[in-house]
Chains A and B, each alone.
Chain A
């Protein structure tokens, strides 16, 4: 285990270095994403019906990355994000809190119990009458079912756990519900997506719908999909959760982002997830 970890770390450093030197290898937009030579993922497909007026096709962010970054995600030994999946698995089995339970006490093998979770969240929780992200559900279980402290919404512990949960759905199509009780939140998320924000006055759509495929400085713009989350970023060598990414994009337009874990960002997460309905869950993905 430790040996594997260090090999992965070295690989990550080497790649980060080549990018910093500007050794840009242009992205191959026709490349196919096959993990470990066996699991083929859908990185481009027809846009879901609700998006048909704006986009014909939807693309995973993986499509826009450079060849060497793409390659790292194709083999779990090269994917630096997988170390954190291992850490999430350790946390899954760890007994914590006043109830003396671990996640495994109730959910057993995550390969069974967590399969499909990443693909369908954010999701309506009927009993609580609220829309929940995976993070929100993890903290619900920690506080209500284990008597443990919640994780900080954006934190290493939380990222490890959601990465481990995401891997159990890898290859499944994103399929969040947008009707029924989540309809109002979905509409709110859509409103936020198209609202020009910050002193640079740009909406998510300004970059990710109108300009995907173009370059903004050195950055090759993707559609800003979240099927790959959490995403390991070579830039700072750590996993990024969905709402942390949203936060960064709004900061970068000189705006005031919503809080991570807020109802507004959860609504936006639902809406953005629904723009990717049909793409494969990739987490943990590799991005720059």
Chain B
């Protein structure tokens, strides 16, 4: 009884329209792009920006510069994301977040919505073995980030 309540609450706070959500293993990818929204709920660009700057979530600024994000110490392992919305379609951006290796072969960029194919996956940043692998970002967080990136025009 108690357990069921807690689970229900968790879904609500994750803000996901769970019923309509596409699970990581069910995502349909065509040449690296993902056409369909993962949630059916429009992405919120402002939330996406927060996810990208947050170390425990996207932490995209660890590897990329994004001029419009006020995050200290932006890295340069990957290219600047300024103008990404002019270079890529939303479907391509979504696909890149789900699994960028399908766009950039062998890239060091992590997959943010994938739950299999890992070697020695850990339980978050604890150093312990993962008992169950959850994707790095939730489906709605992916949609939020896509919205943020799509708005980065040249």
Interface residues of A (CB under 8 A from B): 22, 195-202, 206-207, 210-211, 214-219, 221, 247, 250-252, 254-257
Q: Is the CB of B127 within 8 A of A250?
A: yes
Please name the residue on chain A nearest to B73 by beta carbon: A218
Q: Is the CB of A251 within 8 A of B126?
A: yes
Q: How far is the CB of A208 from chain B (nearest CB, A)?
A: 11
Residues of B in contact with A, size category: 20 to 34
Contacts of B128 in A (CB 8 A): 256
Q: How far is the CB of B55 from chain A (nearest CB, A)?
A: 8
Q: Is the CB of B77 within 8 A of A214?
A: yes
Q: Is the CB of B127 within 8 A of A247?
A: yes
A198-B120, A199-B110, A257-B120 are known; give 16 further A-B pairs, CB within 8 A: A197-B119, A198-B121, A198-B122, A199-B122, A202-B108, A206-B108, A214-B77, A215-B74, A215-B77, A216-B77, A218-B73, A221-B77, A250-B120, A250-B122, A254-B124, A255-B127
Contacts of B127 in A (CB 8 A): 247, 250-251, 255-257
Q: What is the interface of chain B mostly: helix, strand, loop, or mixed?
A: loop
Contacts of B74 in A (CB 8 A): 215, 217
Q: Is the CB of A196 within 8 A of B77?
A: no
Q: A199-B133, A214-B77 are in contact. Are A254 and B125 (CB under 8 A)?
A: yes
Say whether B136 faces chain A, with CB atoms less than 8 Å apart.
yes
Q: Is the CB of B110 within 8 A of A217?
A: no
Say whether B129 faces chain A, with CB atoms less than 8 Å apart.
yes
Contacts of B75 in A (CB 8 A): 214-217, 219
Please name the residue on chain A nearest to B99 by beta carbon: A201
Please name the residue on chain B nearest to A213 by beta carbon: B76
Complexed CA–CA distance, A207 and B110 (Å): 12
Write 16 A-B pairs (CB below 8 A) sorted by A numbering.
A22-B72, A199-B136, A200-B110, A200-B136, A206-B108, A207-B108, A211-B108, A214-B76, A216-B62, A216-B77, A218-B72, A219-B75, A221-B77, A250-B122, A252-B125, A255-B119
Complexed CA–CA distance, A207 and B59 (Å): 16
Q: Is the CB of A211 within 8 A of B77?
A: yes
Contacts of A251 in B (CB 8 A): 122, 125-127
Contacts of A200 in B (CB 8 A): 110, 136
Interface string of B103-132 (1 = CB under 8 A from A): 000001011000000111111111111100
Contacts of B124 in A (CB 8 A): 254
Contacts of A218 in B (CB 8 A): 72-73
Complexed CA–CA distance, A211 and B111 (Å): 18
Interface residues of B (CB under 8 A from A): 55, 59, 61-63, 72-77, 108, 110-111, 118-130, 133, 136
Contacts of A256 in B (CB 8 A): 120-123, 127-130
Complexed CA–CA distance, A244 and B129 (Å): 17
Q: Is the CB of A254 within 8 A of B108?
A: no
Q: Is the CB of A199 within 8 A of B118?
A: yes
Q: How far is the CB of A274 from chain B (nearest CB, A)?
A: 23
Q: How far is the CB of B68 from chain A (nearest CB, A)?
A: 18
Contacts of A22 in B (CB 8 A): 72-73
**Option from A199, A202, A206, A250 in Cβ contact (under 8 Å) with B130:** A199
Contacts of B136 in A (CB 8 A): 199-200, 254
Please name the residue on chain B nearest to A217 by beta carbon: B62
Q: A197-B119, A256-B122, A256-B129 are in contact. Are A217 and B76 (CB under 8 A)?
A: no
**Option from B77, B111, B130 in Cβ contact (under 8 Å) with A201:** B111
Contacts of B125 in A (CB 8 A): 251-252, 254
Which residue, A195, A206, A256, has most C-beta atoms of chain B within 10 A? A256
Contacts of B55 in A (CB 8 A): 217
Contacts of A206 in B (CB 8 A): 108
Contacts of A257 in B (CB 8 A): 120, 122, 127
Q: A201-B111, A214-B77, A250-B127 are in contact. Are A195 and B122 (CB under 8 A)?
A: no
Contacts of B122 in A (CB 8 A): 198-199, 250-251, 254-257
Contacts of B120 in A (CB 8 A): 197-198, 250, 255-257
